[in-house]
Amino acid sequence: MSSPTFDVLIIGGGAHGASLAFHLAGRGIKTAVLEKRHIAAGATGRSSGLVRMHYDLEQEAALAWESFQWFRDWKERVGPDPCGFTRTGFLQLVRREHEATLRANTAMLQRLGVATFLITADDVQRLVPGLATDDFDIAAYEPESGYADPVLTAAALMNAARARGASFFSNCQVTEITVRSGRVTGLVASCGVFSAPIVVNAAGAWAGAVCRLAGLDLPIGTWSHDVMYVVRPPALRLPHPTVIDFPNLMYFRPEGHLTLVGLEDGNPLNEDPEGDTSHARPGFVDRAIERLCRRLPAMEGGALHSGHGGYDGITPDQHPVIGPIGPEGFWLDCGFSGTGFKISPAVGLCLAEWIVDGAPKTVDITVFHPQRLLEGRRLVGQHPYGDIWL
């Protein structure tokens, strides 16, 4: 019996694998996605779902801006299945010593067309009564930003991809990438043997292992992160904006009567991504509550709802690797280092352009070419805030 033949095989059924399948299928490319478990079973399913544009690297900001327009106009662009986009407004808080950087990045975003502007600490108090503003004087505000549901997003993209002709194989673990004379010829998986001249690694926290199947030893590791949900007290019953709080190395956003909180330090690297994610690590909740109450003192009256962990792939410069490398026909769409969900619609669009047309057009994503990993080069934002990632 002959193996099924496709134009492109995508390993990984998260937001990025689903987005690429959607955009490729829209171009008439015969595409299949192979997922070892189910849709959004990895990093996507544990993403905090922030949808905002504030980055210090212009290409990532451009991807976030393009992606925001997909989230905003989801029904018209993707179809009837929802992505759960919720507009909350977004605040970027930084330490006073980073004010000049904040101004520069806000100006860059405005040049891209993003609806963002600087506001004073007093303005922040009016937006979020009770939020402590003693450690900053200005903040960047994006009134149209918010969050989306990562699982709904990935499922909607995959359903739309299948409606366009793509195939999806769940519970299908890839065990071998077949190469002949330096060219990819397909792969072997637990659900069968597949033929294709192009294989894309969109395997998230498992991306490093998938690279090794293609004979590549790249520095794509894992990082783990925890989040908690807090029931807001009556004094904070109204939803607040989504906030990235660099002074406290924290982010938080509303979800109904709950507030989701994540921290940006103490996240272990290079653990087995098969580890337990059903609970937050010991000590995380205490640290997160202390910081949340520092920023929103009224949260002292809140109550812990739940907590969990998650894994994603990470690169040495904490920026994604996107593009061809290794045997001809092997492509990377991974290494998003915890920031990938919000840019997934645009990355899929641009990578489809690169694969089909020979070059990305909507946003120049060639800056993320994986060759830099082999050369030891690191991407750095035009106006970085320091060794902080989110």
In the prediction, which pLDDT does 266 show? Answer: 86
The answer on 133 and 160 residing in a single domain is no
Mean pLDDT confidence for 236-242? 92
User: Which of the residue ranges 70-79, 151-160, 233-242 would you say has the lowest mean pLDDT?
Assistant: 233-242
User: What pLDDT band is residue 387 in, cutting at 50, 70 and 90?
Assistant: low
DSSP single-letter state for residue 168: E
Domain end marker among 311, 337, 365:
311
**Residue 390 domain flag:** no
In the prediction, which pLDDT does 152 show? Answer: 98
The answer on 226 and 140 residing in a single domain is yes
Q: What angle do CA 290, 293, 296 make, to 5 degrees?
A: 155
What value does the mean pLDDT of the chain take?
A: 96
User: Which of the residue ranges 14-23, 243-252, 264-273 would you say has the lowest mean pLDDT?
Assistant: 264-273
CB 108 within 8 A of CB 261: no
The answer on 232 and 139 residing in a single domain is yes
Instruction: Please report, rounded to a whole number, the percentage of residues in the chain having pLDDT higher than 70.
Output: 98
Mean pLDDT confidence for 260-275? 93
Tokens read off for 190: 């637990």
CB 355 within 8 A of CB 28: no
**Residue 380 CA from chain centroid, whole number:** 18
Give the contacts of 300 (CB within 8 A, at least 6 positions apart).
Answer: 233, 293
- Predicted confidence (pLDDT) at residue 373 exceeds the cutoff of 90: yes
The answer on 187 and 128 residing in a single domain is no
The answer on 105 and 118 residing in a single domain is yes
In the prediction, which pLDDT does 238 show? Answer: 87
Looking up residue 184, the CATH number of its domain turns out to be 3.50.50.60
For 214-281, the DSSP string reads TT-----EEEEEEEEEEEPPGGG-S---EEEEGGGTEEEEEETTEEEEEESSS--BS--TTS--SSPP
In the prediction, which pLDDT does 2 show? Answer: 59
**Residue 200 domain flag:** yes
**Residue 130 domain flag:** yes
User: What pLDDT band is residue 148 in, cutting at 50, 70 and 90?
Assistant: very high
The answer on 282 and 157 residing in a single domain is no
**Residue 388 domain flag:** no
**Residue 366 domain flag:** yes
Domain end marker among 258, 293, 311:
311
- Predicted confidence (pLDDT) at residue 389 exceeds the cutoff of 50: no
Domain that holds residue 179: 8-47+151-220+316-375
> Number of helices and strands (H, E) in the chain?
10, 20
- Predicted confidence (pLDDT) at residue 297 exceeds the cutoff of 90: yes
Q: Is the dihedral of CA 115, 117, 123, 128 positive or negative?
A: positive
The answer on 306 and 162 residing in a single domain is no
- Predicted confidence (pLDDT) at residue 390 exceeds the cutoff of 70: no
In the prediction, which pLDDT does 1 show? Answer: 42
**Residue 55 domain flag:** no
The answer on 226 and 138 residing in a single domain is yes
User: What pLDDT band is residue 388 in, cutting at 50, 70 and 90?
Assistant: low
Give the contacts of 151 (CB within 8 A, at least 6 positions apart).
Answer: 39, 40, 44, 45
Domain end marker among 270, 292, 311:
311
The answer on 30 and 99 residing in a single domain is no
The answer on 325 and 205 residing in a single domain is yes
The answer on 338 and 306 residing in a single domain is no
Count of domains observed in the chain? 2
Say which residue the tokens 């192009």 belong to.
Answer: 198
**Residue 66 domain flag:** no
**Residue 301 domain flag:** yes
Looking up residue 138, the CATH number of its domain turns out to be 3.30.9.10
The answer on 306 and 228 residing in a single domain is yes
In the prediction, which pLDDT does 272 show? Answer: 94
